[in-house]
Amino acid sequence: MRAELKRCSEARLAVNATALAALIVLMFPGNAPAQGKWVKLAPFPEPAFEIAGATVNGKIYVFGGLPSGGQTTPPGLVYEYDPGANQWTKRKPMPLPAHHIAAAEYRGKVYLFGGGIQKEAGESNWFPSDHAWEYDPAADSWKALAPMPTKRGAAVAAEVGGKIYVIGGAGLHPGAKEAALSPSQPHRSLGANEAYDPATNTWQTRSPMPTARNHAAIGAVNGKIYVLGGRVASPFIGGDASNTDVVEEYDPATGSWGALRARMLTARSGVGFGTYGGRIYLVGGEFQNRAMAGVFRDLEAYDPAANQWITLPSVPLARQGVGSAVVGNRFHVISGRLQSGGIGPGQGSNYDSHDAFEITDK
């Protein structure tokens, strides 16, 4: 009889444990398992951060970056990565070097918008820009486009329905005298949402994003655009900026912003991002408050259909300001900085690491 009671008790405990585990997954969707692994690839030839990445015809293109090593002029880097050969090739540099650029691919071309530029040698390199460029990888050539309506840097861009939406960023107050952005210069985060039409080389102002922010991530899934995280107030993490975990959905078909989506598992900015299989992948990023400053290793994916976050294996090396792109089932994370910004000279460095997360569950 005692043995039978013991077996019944153990069975009840097993059922309860299973039910509890299922409840935990429902309550904390970020803990849902997902498969994949990290692979190490050819290092980036000129380590940089605040670079932009895009994929064209199975190859990755990396653009821009902040100056390093005591330099003040942005390098205007352009590199091509061939996954088949696991090899980097330097391409024609940007006509106007910039950092914190928004980039998107459309019909075999890369479109780059805004960013921080330098007007004169030796001065600040954080003048917000309205420049727009088309880069043709096949010809390794550049073409100037109609300028953006709003000068800004640290915006994000995504293509839907043949138009490219440039959203958010940081710029000057309306009516302010043109000046470079700095922690001591009055400026603001922007909710600007401006659509570029490559067919007509024209811009259209659309409904602004409810949460003005910069250094965010973006992804387009099933005809809708999602803006994830970033920072509010200043673009300078060491100033009065605060990271946000807000996720907002924009429907270009209706021109409207929907209700708030599931918040990020970790509020962060300066992440790498890419879209694959209906999910938006976010990696790395930075954080600061009065007590600490640092960078993240976290890799998380947002599934808009389920409105759910998924935790994935962390990137081997924590960093921020990376270049990122998706080729096939690999999410590439390229270069970046090993420490959060604004912490003083000599305390942070760029790194050449090039890692890719091989997605096996989609």
158-162, 306-310, 329-333, 346-350: segment of lowest average pLDDT: 346-350
pLDDT at 59 over 90: yes
**What does the pLDDT average to over 14-41?**
51
Question: Which residues does residue 39 pair with via DSSP β-bridges, in sequence order?
Answer: 356
33 contact partners, CB below 8 Å, separation of at least 6: none
Distance CA 183, CA 195 (A): 29
Question: What pLDDT score was predicted for residue 45?
Answer: 97
Phi, psi of 303 (to 5 degrees): -105, 100
CB-based contact 153:99 (threshold 8 Å): yes
The average confidence (pLDDT) of the chain is 89
Question: What pLDDT score was predicted for residue 72?
Answer: 87
Cβ-based burial of 319 (10 A; exposed 0-12, middle 13-18, buried ≥19): buried
CB atoms < 10 A from the CB of 349, how many? 12
Question: What pLDDT score was predicted for residue 343?
Answer: 60
pLDDT tens profile 151-177: 999 999 999 999 999 999 999 998 888
Please name the helix (run of DSSP H) or strand (run of DSSP E) that holds residue 347, with its range, or none.
none
pLDDT at 147 over 60: yes
43-57, 134-148, 337-351: segment of lowest average pLDDT: 337-351
